[in-house]
Amino acid sequence: MADELFDLSGKVALITGGSRGLGLEMAKAFAKAGADIVIASRKAEACEAAAEEIRALGRRALGVGCHVGDWDALKDLSDQAYDTFGKVDILVNNAGMSPLTPSSEETPEALFDKVIAVNFKGPFRLTAVVGPRMVAGEGGSIINISSSGAIRPMPAFLPYAGAKAALNTITEGFAKEYAPKVRVNGIMAGPFLTDISKAWTPEAREKAHNALGRPGRPDEIVTAAMYLASPRSSFTTGSVIRCDGGVP
């Protein structure tokens, strides 16, 4: 029954930050549901390695080295996806970075600009180039991976929190711009046990300041993503779903 609910047969999904972490988990889940996958991240070799994992699942895959903070590179990423597969049905703006800073005053301008570029400018630009092509084609679903930090900002990561809050805002705006053929939604993720968590303390990997008292497993974001990617969410657009274990 679940396979029927989230059937993505014949679909093409483009996922930024798709070579590891939550992006790779979503890529594999979409592939198992029948989608072909375009994986983009900064390192081309990591993209190709992830693409091989997708091919091992019996689906077609394309790995593209691309820095999402590079405005011009995103048009090329879109072109490569369309040249290879002829369409993009699902776009997941997942790539992000959340470096901590000692204080707002000590935040370097270069770091500020990089955080904004990766977490906000990139998703804006890629949606702006893929969205109209979806409208001109068969339509599609765009999913922006945000963060609970957007609504619960902390001093150590204010530029990141601001960028994710902006991402939430453009999610609703793009939903209006590309309606009714393209749906645009977001997922506000909380702490997840991805490769980044290897740098956390043992306690942080077991406990979290949320209602469930723990970090999420990577597979626990997949169902929300599958719902938004599939036709089963046909009446859901301009929404941002919290997937954070109940951050207070």
| 160 carries an active-site annotation | yes
Residue 116 domain-assigned? yes
pLDDT in tens, 7-17: 999 999 999 99
| Rounded Cα gap, residues 64 and 82, in angstroms | 13
pTM, whole model, 2 decimals? 0.95
Residue 123 domain-assigned? yes
pLDDT in tens, 176-194: 999 999 999 999 999 888 7
Q: What is the mean pLDDT of residues 80-88?
A: 98
Query: Structurally, how many domains does the chain consist of?
Result: 1
Average pLDDT of the chain? Answer: 94
Residue 113 domain-assigned? yes
Of 88, 69, 66, which is closest to residue 18 (Cα–Cα)? Answer: 66
| Rounded Cα gap, residues 206 and 100, in angstroms | 21
Q: Which amino acid is at 15?
A: I
pLDDT at 234 over 60: yes
DSSP state of 118: I
Quickly state the pLDDT bin for 218 (edges 50, 70, 90): confident
| Rounded Cα gap, residues 190 and 158, in angstroms | 16
**Of the given ranges (42-51, 97-106, 181-190), which has the lowest mean pLDDT?**
97-106
Domain harbouring 172, CATH code: 3.40.50.720
Which pLDDT belongs to residue 239? 98
Residue 163 domain-assigned? yes
| Rounded Cα gap, residues 48 and 33, in angstroms | 20
Answer whether 114's CB lies under 8 Å from 97's CB: yes
Q: Partners of 140 in the beta sheet?
A: 182
Q: Which of 82, 160, 178, 227 is catalytic?
A: 160
Q: Domain residues for 48? A: 2-243
Residue 227 domain-assigned? yes
Residue 248 domain-assigned? no
